[in-house]
Amino acid sequence: MIDPAIPKLFKKIAEYLWKDLGQRHKFGLDKAEIGITDDIIFYLKRFTHGRHNSGITIWKAKDEVTYGHDIDLFIQDYSQNYYWFPLQAKVLFNNKIYKSVKHESHQQWTLLKRLKRKSQAAGIWCEPYYLFYNGFTQKSLSYYVARKQPHGSVVGYGALGCSLVDPYLVGKACIKGANPKYSDFHTNIRLKASPRKVLPWHKIFNQVNRKTRNLPVVNLLTNNDIQNRSSFYSQIVEPAYEAIPQAYYYPGPFTDVSLEDESRGRYMVVINQVDIEWLLFSTLFKE
């Protein structure tokens, strides 16, 4: 099973970011999305420090990705195979607009949708998302919600510090020519309902569990696929250990979609199932 502490960690990261960005916006300041992504990778790596079999492995891209997304997230299910979630990060600015959604002539939502089509054609399960970094103070959110579209209590909205949005919705919101606003995606959101198109990113683990019962195993990625993929990355290891030798690239299911920048993220994060007996043992004897 996935260590229950991992979804909780994802939620804590989102809640921290929600408060941090909210405070920055209060003073008219912004934070770059690349710095936020690097911070998230740090929090995930810190979680693994000193933990035997933490269930999280992280790689960093060997070379700069021009039009690629930010994170390749792979989550293992009970069949020991993997779901692939390419995540394109975008940050909310203090005017509550995502200013950097468009990238010159290469519209990122088009690249993500094309990546999904190419992956499916190659027999690979792939579900891209925009990973939006959001933030409000309690006071500013209460005012914003009331002024825009009332949708009840604002309690618990910190989980939307990291929200996942379907690229189709992003492209649709940008048809008007302007960059999308927070309210274009996050109105009438019920956090407990796991919306189909928009959800707090820690709920992606629930999505995997539900899909497992309905999806043919042959469409998922294997551990060998993940290892082949890692040839484009350098594993992030503890400073006290020597770097793991670079893997060679072997042809496999990723052959048709791995060689272009648009199909690779800056980081690759792999979430594995952990042994239930070890998990129970570590919980019982944790100091």
DSSP per-residue codes, 20-58: HHHHHHHTT----HHHHHHHHHHHHHHHHTT-TT-SEEE
Q: Alpha-carbon distance 8 to 83, whole Å?
A: 19
Q: Alpha-carbon distance 199 to 185, whole Å?
A: 10
Q: How many residues does the chain have?
A: 287
Q: Which residues pair with 85 in a beta bridge?
A: 73
Task: Name the stretches of the chain with pLDDT < 70.
Answer: 52, 62-68, 102-106, 139-156, 187-197, 209-218, 230-264, 275-287
pLDDT of residue 236: 45
pLDDT of residue 142: 58
pTM of this prediction?
A: 0.79
H helix runs in 86-180, sequence order:
108-121, 138-147, 167-173
- Cβ density class 95-125: b for 16+ within 10 Å, e for less: ebbbeebbeeeebbbebbbbbbebbeeeebb
pLDDT digits (tens, 9 = 90+) for 169-197: 888 888 777 888 888 888 655 444 344 56
pLDDT of residue 73: 94
Largest CA distance in the chain: 57
In the block, which residue shows the tokens 């909310």? Answer: 92
pLDDT of residue 153: 43
Q: What are phi and psi of 186, to 5 degrees?
A: -115, 30
pLDDT of residue 214: 58
Domain ranges of the chain: 5-284
Q: At what angle do helices 5-26 and 33-48 cross, to 10 degrees?
A: 150
Nearest partner of 44 among 58, 62, 60, 59, judged by Cα: 58
pLDDT of residue 276: 53
pLDDT of residue 2: 85
Q: Alpha-carbon distance 235 to 61, whole Å?
A: 9
| 32 burial via Cβ count (<10 Å: 0-12, 13-18, 19+) | exposed
pLDDT of residue 104: 54
